Structure 1
Amino acid sequence: MQLIFKTLTLVNYKSHRDISVNFGERTDITGDNAKGKTSITEAIPWLLYGMDALGSKLDPTPITYEADETRVSLLLEVDGKAVLLGRSLKKNKTTYYVNDVPSKAGEFNEVVERLFDKDLFLSLYNPIYFSSMHWEKQRSMLLQYVPSPVNKDVLKQLPDEQNKCLTALFKKHNLEDIKKIHSENKTTLDKKYIAAQSRTKTLQEQLEQIDLPTVPLESLKVELAQIDKQVREKESLLDNAWEKNKVYNSLQAKIRNLQEQVEMSKERWPLLKNEELEDSCRTCKRPLDEESVTAVKKDKEIRIENYKANHERLRKERADLNVRLEELEFVDATELRNEIRELDPQGTPLREAIRIHGEFGRLQEQVSQAQADEKETLQSLNDSIFILDSVKAFKSKEAELQGEKVQALFETLSVRLFEEQKNGELKNTFEIELDKKPYRKLSTAEGIRAGLELRDVLSQQSDLITPVFVDNAESITSFKQPVGQLIVLRVVAGQELKIEGVDAK
């Protein structure tokens, strides 16, 4: 889109009571200081945005005289179509006009916004406006026309291993997420690796403190097995002896019990044998009749017979048990126990040696596992470090490629988009340089040339052509003709305001 200024009319605007400027392809505005040269160029941004050419507040009211109303109008040609915009200020009330039709502020602003972005227009119109913005705004404005390189183009510039690594990771995550994931992994794995090293060292020290027996483990096991076998055999004999003695002792106990019963039976026999028969009732003392006496005799006879039978049974049982006892043998296990007591301790040092071998083996396994864990953790840590280095390399190459794309837009200026920090990370920045000098350190002439080249790049990239004014043109001998209408402001000592190339009133 091309924007052309046709006619600017100022009424009671600062020092200008009534002036019309007809713009041509080039318009030269000359005159001594304080003759209103800059006011003419500032009237346009005040008309559009209510501010000066640097985006600051502006008071447009007359300076040396009083007036009821300040009014500015501008006839534009936008891609061949005429648009007349106007703004007036009367008693602190602003009125807007679009093609001479009074409009609300919102309607007026909408018309202007449809034509062009404010910061873009002011950057194209005033070569030093761009440098007055915050560097982040400058960077954003320029880069919106220079997209970042696509991932595949950046990856091609990286070493094969980094290319393969990031290509696989890009299938699941973007670059920033990859960085976050592996930055967290690295922090976690750093601590885990330190812990793994400590565990390996501790276990290794424990292993070194073990005094390993000189006798091989298998030899110790064979020798202990022989001792254990002998002990088990003797313990088996001891168990058999115990079982036999248990039976022997049980029979002896039964015989003693029967003997006691036989002795008690003998003691009761005289009492029974010599028992006198009662011939009278124990209760009433009356003499028993013959039948009762006979019954008493009969009862005694029966009790004697029972006694003899029971006494004989006890004697027979005792005799039978004595026969069985004679058939048994009581085993004296004292010597066997002594042999076991002497033999079993011989296995104690062997068991301790085997235990030490086992402890040594377990520690060896733990050391091996700890070393494997340490190695695995280190590999994971190195993987994350490699990925983070790859991300850093990707960003660096991306910045380099983007910088090359941006730099290709300029002829004499250099643009710095990034700066490297102490940790190697790239930080966004924005610096315009001319002959390696930052823009802020350029002379007035250098600043004008730099500003014109920069605004021409913005104009070309945005496809917007606007007029541009060069203030303080007396400070520069020559400069490249910019794209679009050119308005040149030059101080000429002792000269009244003069507008050349156009009709002036």
Structure 2
Amino acid sequence: MQIKISNLKLKNFKGIKNLEINFEGKNANIYGKNATGKTTVFDAFKWLFFDKDSSDRKDFNIKTLDENNKPIHFLEHEVEAILLIDGVDMTFKKMLKEKWVTKRGETQQEFSGHETSYWIDEVPVKKKDYEEKINSLVPESLFKLITDPLYFNKQLKWQERREILTNISGNQITDEEILNANEEFKTLQQNLNGRSIEDYKKVIQSKIKELNNQKESIPIRIDELTNTLVTEHNINYDELEKQKETYNQELKKIETEMFDIQARAKENIEKADKLAKAKNELNELKITLEKENKQQYVAEKIKLINDKALNESMLRNKRQELDERQLKIEQDSKRKNELYKKWDEISNTKLEFDPDSFVCPTCKREYETEKIEEIKKQFENNFNNHKKVEQNAINTEGQAINSRIKENTETIEKIKMEMADIDKKLNEIKIKTENIENEEAKNAIIDVTTFPKYQEKLKEVNELQEIVDKLISSDTSEVQDRKNNIISLINNIDKQLNERTVQERTKERIKELENEEENIANKVQELEAQQYQIEQFTKTKVELLENAINSKFEVVKFRLFDTQINGGLVECCDTLVNGVPYSDVNNAHKILAGLDIINTLIKFYKTSAPIFIDNRESINELYNINAQVISLIVTQNEKLRIEVMS
């Protein structure tokens, strides 16, 4: 579609009282000093179609001002354009005027607002129909792209520019085709396992983050265990083991000697049997308590694991509920805005009378004035009642929406508090788990003599021992002294050996943590290697995409990715003019770059519209553009001078 301006009229528009330009669909130059109204022509054209000025502002003043910079009242502000659309004329006209009313009992008029009227091909139309017609010809977003050379690079976000360029490129090469065509991406293709590159990239990033979090806590746990280690003395543990064995052999001999003595005392056999049984039970109890000690830690850890799983499940449920509530708020807010818009449309709807309503259908004569006023009043009542019913319905729905938004907002705050409590519990579980692991390492060997069951059984053994001792004290006292001395020596050795066991287990745990830290580092390294493969794939895809895009332009080139210091790629969309960043070139080159972009957009969208070039005097020569070009040129002319090209 090709759109050109055939004729443009301005009336009382931003200081221009009357101006008519007969473009005839041709290129034109508009000359004049600053503030003579060159840009006003572009403003008028934009306002006529989109209620905005040339800077894309909706809130701007179009009224003519007096010498005190005050609006001149009772004027009609009007813009009319005859467009050539694929060679066919179509006229658009818009007029803004003030509304003045005289209240009952007063003689002076009072300003009550503005009203805007619309025409298409001289036929009055409603605003909605007017806007729909314009949008059917060329949407506002496309119009701005193909009429203003600076719009693409100065007004659009880089993400929007990138999306447009990607569409223009027509490069339909898929990720799978790139993967299949490059042997170096074979491993990456296998790792994808049906996922997209972007999803796999998120998986890798998530895993690296999780592993690094695990790795950060390990040095702290190692320090805690290291602090429990005592400074090693010059102790020969092998020699202690030999001494213990020697003492045990001697102890066996003494016990044999004592047994022989006790055997000779028949009256002590029964008590001795009970004592032996009690000692055996005491030993079995010792073994049982040590097992229970280990099981205690296992049970506690299992409980913590279950607690963690439960809380994580609760957290996921809360997060899902939070997302659902937020979505409901967004949907209700959107509906609320629609109701506001509908309210405004209803409020702005004006009653229009059909002249045939005031003519008798039989005799075809106009009713009497009284009858006409009666009919009008009936129409007005019906019209107002209908508006009131619709507005009441909007109010009812709006109140319901407000209630839902309030309820969902309060619920969201409650959910956030609950999620914070769950996070706190998960952190407590983590700390408890680490404490149990450390305690388990330190208390691998326990002192069973502190347990009530053991003390009770030991008391029973001691009581039996006391009875037996009384019976054979005369025979065994000296032997018992030797035995006690040996036991004391053995206990001292056991104490030193037990310390060694605790130390060795702590060191083993430290070594396990160090190995775990190394394993995590290796896993991170492997994941970073996969991350590098993704970056290389992205780089390859980018080069293909950039080449496809840049082949569409003559002057400008586009850089879609920027290489960071660490070698990674970050998405961007930078315009380059002869290799120089767009922001660094002068205004003339910025305009020329914009024209090159517009040329490509016209070809892609198969639509052209008049291009307005402000500050045209800075450019020596324009490209050949398949569109109408209107140049705004600063000169010394006190009044506008318009030159339409032949």
TM-score range, shorter chain: 0.5 to 0.7
Moved more, 163-172 or 331-340: 163-172
| 1:95 aligned partner | 117
Aligned-pair distance for 1:48?
A: 0.9
Q: Which one has the largest radius of gyration?
A: 1
Question: Is residue 2:118 matched to residue 1:111?
Answer: no
| 1:364 aligned partner | 504
Q: Find the aligned partners of 2:234 and 2:134 in 1 and give their Cα distance.
A: 88
**Corresponding residue to 1:439 among 564, 578, 582:** 582
What one-letter code is carried by the residue in structure 1 that aligns with 2:516? E
| 1:498 aligned partner | 642
| 1:211 aligned partner | 235
CA pair 191-102 structure 1, distance change in 2 beyond 3 A: same
CA pair 21-446 structure 1, distance change in 2 beyond 3 A: same
Say whether the 8 Å CA contact 2:587–2:618 is kept in structure 1. Answer: yes
Q: Name the SS of the counterpart of 1:334 in structure 2.
A: helix
Question: Is residue 2:516 matched to residue 1:376?
Answer: yes
What one-letter code is carried by the residue in structure 2 that aligns with 1:434? V
Q: Find the aligned partners of 1:16 and 1:442 in 2 and give their Cα distance.
A: 38
Question: Is residue 2:9 matched to residue 1:10?
Answer: yes
| 2:362 aligned partner | none
Alignment of 1:462-481 (within 5 A): 462-481=605-624
**Corresponding residue to 1:72 among 69, 72, 79:** 79
CA pair 431-164 structure 1, distance change in 2 beyond 3 A: closer
What one-letter code is carried by the residue in structure 1 that aligns with 2:217? K
Moved more, 90-99 or 159-168: 159-168
State TM-score, norm by structure 1.
Answer: 0.66
Question: Is residue 2:226 matched to residue 1:223?
Answer: no
| 1:353 aligned partner | 493
Q: Name the SS of the counterpart of 1:481 in structure 2.
A: coil
What one-letter code is carried by the residue in structure 1 that aligns with 2:129? E
The number of residue pairs the alignment matches comes to 415
| 1:452 aligned partner | 595
Q: Name the SS of the counterpart of 2:22 in structure 1.
A: strand
Q: Name the SS of the counterpart of 2:237 in structure 1.
A: coil
Q: Find the aligned partners of 2:205 and 2:585 in 1 and give their Cα distance.
A: 41
CA deviation map 1:410-433 (0-9, x unaligned)? 443344556677787766655434
CA pair 164-88 structure 1, distance change in 2 beyond 3 A: same
| 2:424 aligned partner | none
CA pair 235-103 structure 1, distance change in 2 beyond 3 A: farther
CA pair 58-342 structure 1, distance change in 2 beyond 3 A: closer
CA pair 71-115 structure 1, distance change in 2 beyond 3 A: same
Q: Name the SS of the counterpart of 2:622 in structure 1.
A: coil
Aligned-pair distance for 1:215?
A: 2.3
Moved more, 339-348 or 471-480: 339-348
Say whether the 8 Å CA contact 1:76–1:84 is kept in structure 2. Answer: yes
CA pair 397-229 structure 1, distance change in 2 beyond 3 A: same
Q: Find the aligned partners of 1:230 and 1:167 in 2 and give their Cα distance.
A: 73
Question: Is residue 2:72 matched to residue 1:86?
Answer: no
Q: Find the aligned partners of 1:124 and 1:234 in 2 and give their Cα distance.
A: 114
CA pair 110-476 structure 1, distance change in 2 beyond 3 A: same
Between the aligned residues of both structures, percent identity stands at: 17
CA pair 354-158 structure 1, distance change in 2 beyond 3 A: farther
Q: Find the aligned partners of 2:196 and 2:507 in 1 and give their Cα distance.
A: 39
State TM-score, norm by structure 2.
Answer: 0.53
Aligned CA-pair RMSD: 4.4
CA pair 359-120 structure 1, distance change in 2 beyond 3 A: same
Aligned-pair distance for 1:3?
A: 3.2
Q: Find the aligned partners of 2:17 and 2:164 in 1 and give their Cα distance.
A: 36
CA pair 245-449 structure 1, distance change in 2 beyond 3 A: closer
Q: Find the aligned partners of 2:194 and 2:211 in 1 and give their Cα distance.
A: 16
Aligned-pair distance for 1:55?
A: 0.7
**Corresponding residue to 1:174 among 199, 205, 219:** 199
| 1:317 aligned partner | none
CA deviation map 1:348-374 (0-9, x unaligned)? 434543554454345334423431233
Q: Find the aligned partners of 1:116 and 1:364 in 2 and give their Cα distance.
A: 81
What one-letter code is carried by the residue in structure 2 that aligns with 1:211? I
Say whether the 8 Å CA contact 2:39–2:54 is kept in structure 1. Answer: no
Q: Which runs of 5+ in 1 are unaligned?
A: 248-330
Moved more, 44-53 or 90-99: 90-99
Q: Find the aligned partners of 1:121 and 1:397 in 2 and give their Cα distance.
A: 36
